[in-house]
Structure 1
Amino acid sequence: MSRYPKKPTPPEGMPEQLVADLNQLNAEDLRKTIIHAQELLNFHDETPSPVEPNSGDDILKVTERDGYTEVVKQVFCGEDCGDCPHGPYLYHVEQEPHPDGTETSYWRFIGEVQLDDE
């Protein structure tokens, strides 16, 4: 059984059949699917999304903007919290280049938001 009380919400615009198929996979097959999807992105000369959810995050919406990625997510903090999930919160995610040529994602907290569908 999952330690998260609510099933994650797929990103906006994701095909329903793909969501249904992914929901049927076990953890090992999901990991393989992630690897294959990253390989396909590289094949198409696309950079992977900077949005990698932390354990306990539920990504509700991802929107690519000029210079950053807008992310709305809810956070589950632990089993003993009666107020979970927290949010939804808005973040701006930017890629930070380093002198060695690598990049890391920088998450800037913007604040709590109301989603249109609520």
Structure 2
Amino acid sequence: MASPADEPTPPEVVPEQVAGELSDLTPEELRNTIIYAQELLQFHDETASPVEPGPDEEILRATERDGYTEVVKRAACASGCEDCPHGPYLYHVKEESRPEGGTKVRWTFVGALSEAE
């Protein structure tokens, strides 16, 4: 079981009350909440974002652009690295159709950003 110190930090745009209530939910309640949130997005004619952070990554910003999502994130590397986390880095993320059907999320690295960006 993870310790409270390992609990993820919610993005600044998530209201404190919502973040607090989410952190108190069980894994099953969280899964059901995700399903409900996705249904609400569809109700509002939105699609779920293809942007999901990987292990040891922190998404700082995700902005929808025409044809792609602009993502700024930080990432941790090997344990014991004194410079972690690294970044921020800019990526363009888009869903591409696959010849055999379905889609694939493609992350294109654009470059490193300064902390001010």
TM bucket normalised to smaller: 0.7 to 0.9
Counterpart-to-counterpart distance in 1, 2:77 and 2:6: 11
C-alpha offsets along residues 49-79 of structure 1, whole Å, 9 cap, x if unaligned?
A: 0101111110010100001000000001232
The number of equivalent residue pairs is: 115
Where do 5+ consecutive residues of structure 2 fail to align? none
Where do 5+ consecutive residues of structure 1 fail to align? none
Identity across matched positions, percent: 53
Normalized against structure 1, the TM-score is what? Answer: 0.76
Counterpart-to-counterpart distance in 1, 2:39 and 2:64: 20
Which aligned pairs between 1:27-38 and structure 2 lie closer than 5 A?
A: 27-38=27-38
Which aligned pairs between 1:25-104 and structure 2 lie closer than 5 A?
A: 25=25, 27-104=27-104
Question: Is contact 1:9-1:60 (8 Å) kept?
Answer: no
Normalized against structure 2, the TM-score is what? Answer: 0.76
Q: Which amino acid aligns with 1:22?
A: L
Q: Which of 40-49 and 58-67 deviates more?
A: 40-49
Query: Higher relative contact order at CA 8 Å, sep ≥6: structure 1 or structure 2?
Result: 1
Question: Is contact 1:9-1:59 (8 Å) kept?
Answer: no
Q: 1:26 to 1:76 in 2, by over 3 A?
A: farther
Q: Which of 37-46 and 89-98 deviates more?
A: 37-46
Deviation at 1:26, TM superposition (A): 5.1
SS state of the match for residue 58, structure 2? strand
Deviation at 1:38, TM superposition (A): 2.4
Counterpart-to-counterpart distance in 1, 2:14 and 2:48: 16
SS state of the match for residue 62, structure 2? strand
Across the aligned residues of Structure 1 and Structure 2, the Cα RMSD in angstroms comes to: 2.6
Counterpart-to-counterpart distance in 2, 1:111 and 1:6: 29
Question: Is contact 2:61-2:73 (8 Å) kept?
Answer: yes
